[in-house]
C-alpha cells in the first residue's frame, strides 16, 4: 500500500472513529510533532514543527537572496580573526 492509499484509508477510518480513538490519534500526533528530531547550530533541540519552520526560513532566504557567497564568507571569516 502506497502513501496515497494509506492516507485515504486513515481518512475513512477517522470518519468512523469514536471519541476515544480520535483522542488516541490526536495524542500520537501531538507526541510526534513535539519529538526532538534535530538540533540547531548552537545545540538547541528542535521539534519536527520547529525543524520544518527552520527549513522554510532557509528556503525564504534563498528565494529573497539573503545569502552570501562562499568567497565572501571566507573574507568575512578572515576579518573575525583580526577583531
Q: CB under 8 Å, gap of 24 or more: what pairs does 45-51 form?
A: none
pTM: predicted TM-score of the whole model, two decimal places? 0.55
Cell digits for 61?
532566504
Residue 80 vs residue 22, higher pLDDT: 22
Neighbours of 31 (CB within 10 A): 9
Q: Which residues of 47-71 are buried (b: 16+ CB within 10 A; e: fewer)?
A: eeebbeeeeeeeeeeeeeeeeeeee
In this prediction, residues 14-35 reach a mean pLDDT of 92
Return d(Cα 79, Cα 68) in angstroms, integer: 15
Residue 83: the pLDDT is 65
Return d(Cα 39, Cα 23) in angstroms, integer: 29
Q: What is the pLDDT of residues 49-59, one digit of tens each?
A: 899 999 999 99
Percent of the chain with pLDDT over 70: 99
Amino acid at each position: 500500500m502506497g502513501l496515497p492509499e494509506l492516507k485515504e484509508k486513515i481518512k475513512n477510518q477517522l470518519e468512523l472513529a469514536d471519541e476515544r480513538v480520535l483522542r488516541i490519534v490526536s495524542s500520537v500526533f501531538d507526541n510526534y510533532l513535539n519529538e526532538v528530531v534535530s538540533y540547531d547550530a548552537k545545540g538547541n533541540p528542535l521539534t519536527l514543527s520547529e525543524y520544518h519552520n527552520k527549513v522554510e526560513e532557509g528556503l525564504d532566504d534563498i528565494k529573497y537572496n539573503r545569502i552570501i557567497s562562499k568567497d565572501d564568507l571566507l573574507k568575512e571569516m578572515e576579518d573575525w580573526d583580526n577583531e
